[in-house]
Amino acid sequence: MAAQRRYSLVRLGRLTATTALLVVAAAGVALIWQYYVTSPWTRDGRVRVLVANVAPQVSGQIVELDVSDNQIVHKGDVLYVIDTFDYQVALDAAKTQVKMRAADLQVKRIQAERRQSLSSLSTSVEEKQQFLGTATQAEAQFANAQVQLAQAEVNMKRTKVRSPVEGYVTNLLLRVGDYASSGTPNVAVIDSSSFWIDGYFEETKMGRICVGDAANAELMGYPQPIGGRVESVTRGISVADATSSTQGLPNVDPIYTWVRLAQRVPVRVRIVDVPKGVPLVSGMTATVRIADGMDVDGALAARAGRALDAILQSFRLRPWPVRDCGPAQDVLGVTTKLPIDVAEHPLSPEAINPGLAPAMNMVPQR
């Protein structure tokens, strides 16, 4: 009798232990399922940055190179200098042309004023109109000479190619003696203030991501996480079936597999805090995690319950959890401007040839 009772107790203990192990295993599976399937995190993240592709606005041979590869540059620093000989000649010629047109305008104006002051007995109306028209043409030629001078001055300034942003020169392949063509980029400058992180999340997790959520990203090789916040969510990705055929009709793939893979949607994370010693390099891989506000309760029972809900949702027994992010927030744009090269040139012929007009105002002796 005692032996049978002892056997029953042993059997009950085994069943209890087995049940406990099954419960623990189920909870572990549920937690793992929740972490890998429903939690808003991804290992498919990339560090991104804006790159300024600098191109000269004038053509010529490079005679001076002031930067090296991976060098830090500030906004406005000279990157390289183009041979100035041709542009200096054009500038001197434009200045000479302005002086000539200024003198010609002053003479034509004085001649027109003299004809206008004469009576109809000394000159005809037609002659007055001719001299007035000649003075008007001289004004137009003087204005055109000023425009040409302004262009020559700006081209002279543009022989010094400057950095439009503050950052790092990268992949520099220039050398002194190379020919720089106008409009062709030949220097790349990374904008050091424009780094961000793109996390490519499965569409099944997008319902738990809202703009403004806290986020952190771990780079491969650096255990310290980078802090950030969700800045925006991409509103469109490429669709293969949207490609038009040669006749302009939709090109729909007739093959449809039973296994439906979730699309990945880019989520832009603004970097807020970078730990000391962690460098930012565009293209680096990052693991991105979003604090979605649904995991604030860290109790095991609550997490297990949410994990069970996630398993049921995956089999469509319950709807997926979707957060109410409130009204859509507009992404405010940032306007950036570069200084515009401005040429300073005289506005009147008297400022160019101040001694010419008084002499022309003298009344001729009869």
Rounded-to-integer distance, Cα 363 and Cα 118, Å = 12
Most confident listed range (57-71, 252-266, 317-331, 350-364):
57-71
- Where do runs of H (alpha helix) occur along the chain? 2-33, 85-117, 125-157, 300-314, 349-352, 356-360
Q: According to the model, what pLDDT value does residue 314 have? A: 52
Rounded-to-integer distance, Cα 63 and Cα 176, Å = 6
Q: What is the DSSP string of 245-294?
A: -TTS-B---S---SS-PPPEEEEEEEEEE--TT----TT-EEEEEEE-SS
Rounded-to-integer distance, Cα 338 and Cα 147, Å = 22
HSE of 309, CA atoms in CB hemisphere, 13 A: 13
Q: According to the model, what pLDDT value does residue 296 have? A: 42
Tokens standing for 52? 């300024």
pLDDT in tens, 298-316: 444 555 555 555 555 555 5
Rounded-to-integer distance, Cα 128 and Cα 105, Å = 16
Residue 228 above 90 pLDDT? Answer: yes
| SS3 state at 233 | strand
DSSP 193: T
Percent of the chain with pLDDT over 90: 42
- Residues 95-120 have a mean pLDDT of 79
pLDDT in tens, 114-154: 667 766 666 666 666 676 778 888 888 888 998 999 999 99
Residue 332 above 60 pLDDT? Answer: no
- Residue count (the chain): 366
pLDDT classification of 359: cutoffs 50, 70, 90: very low
pLDDT in tens, 164-223: 999 999 999 999 999 999 999 999 999 999 999 999 998 888 888 889 899 999 999 898
- 53-190+345-360 CATH pick, 3.30.479.30, 3.40.605.10, 2.40.50.100, 2.60.40.150: 2.40.50.100
Residue 287 above 80 pLDDT? Answer: yes
Rounded-to-integer distance, Cα 192 and Cα 179, Å = 28
C-beta of residue 327 within 8 angstroms of C-beta of residue 300? no
Cα-based angle 257, 262, 267 (whole degrees, multiple of 5): 155
Query: For all residues of the chain together, what is the average pLDDT?
Result: 80
C-beta of residue 239 within 8 angstroms of C-beta of residue 180? no
- Residues 236-243 have a mean pLDDT of 79
C-beta of residue 82 within 8 angstroms of C-beta of residue 61? yes
